Amino acid sequence: MSLTVESLHECDFSDVAEGDLSPVPPGEILAHEFLEPLAITPYRLAKSIGVPQQRLGEILAGRRSVTADTGLRLSRFFGTSDGFWIGLQADYDMAKARASMGDALDRITPFRRAA
């Protein structure tokens, strides 16, 4: 679905505003925002960046994290910043951790220095 300025008033962004969106694994972003639009197969990408096809397949399936090594290779290939892929992974990991911690995080009192 494409958005236009004219159609924005009809859109419901409550899930975004309320933080109800599930975290998106980097492999899903790689597949849907890079490989599919550019018509690049996982096999071709794996060969081009010098990683085993199994590693890339596991990242795409969400069973493996993007490491700094793989992130740098993806960044070089796609022309993104060096921290792009590892940043996506860190954001995903943080969101998953926050969700799994539940109220435990809220029960931690922040440290305050005495004045």
Structure tokens given for 71: 């992130």
Give 7's DSSP letter. G
Residue 115 lies in a domain: no
Q: What are phi and psi of 47, to 5 degrees?
A: -65, -40
- DSSP reduced 3-state for 10: helix
- At 102 the pLDDT is 85
Asked if residue 44 belongs to a domain, the reply is yes
**Residue 12: CB atoms within 10 Å:** 7
What value does the mean pLDDT of the chain take? 90
Tell me if 18 is assigned to some domain: no
Q: What is the CA 12 to chain-centroid distance, rounded?
A: 23
CA within 13 Å, CB half, 21? 11
DSSP state of 23: P
Give the pLDDT band of residue 111 (cuts 50, 70, 90): very high
Q: How many domains does the chain have?
A: 1
Identify whether 8 is part of a domain: no
Question: pLDDT tens, 33-79?
Answer: 999 999 999 999 999 999 999 999 999 999 999 999 999 999 999 99
Q: Is the pLDDT of residue 15 over 60?
A: no
Domain that holds residue 45: 23-98
Q: CB within 8 A of 68, min separation 6: which ones?
A: 86
Residue 15 forms part of a structural domain:
no
Q: How far apart are CA 33 and CA 14, in angstroms?
A: 23
Domain annotation covers residue 12:
no
Q: Is residue 115's pLDDT more than 90?
A: no
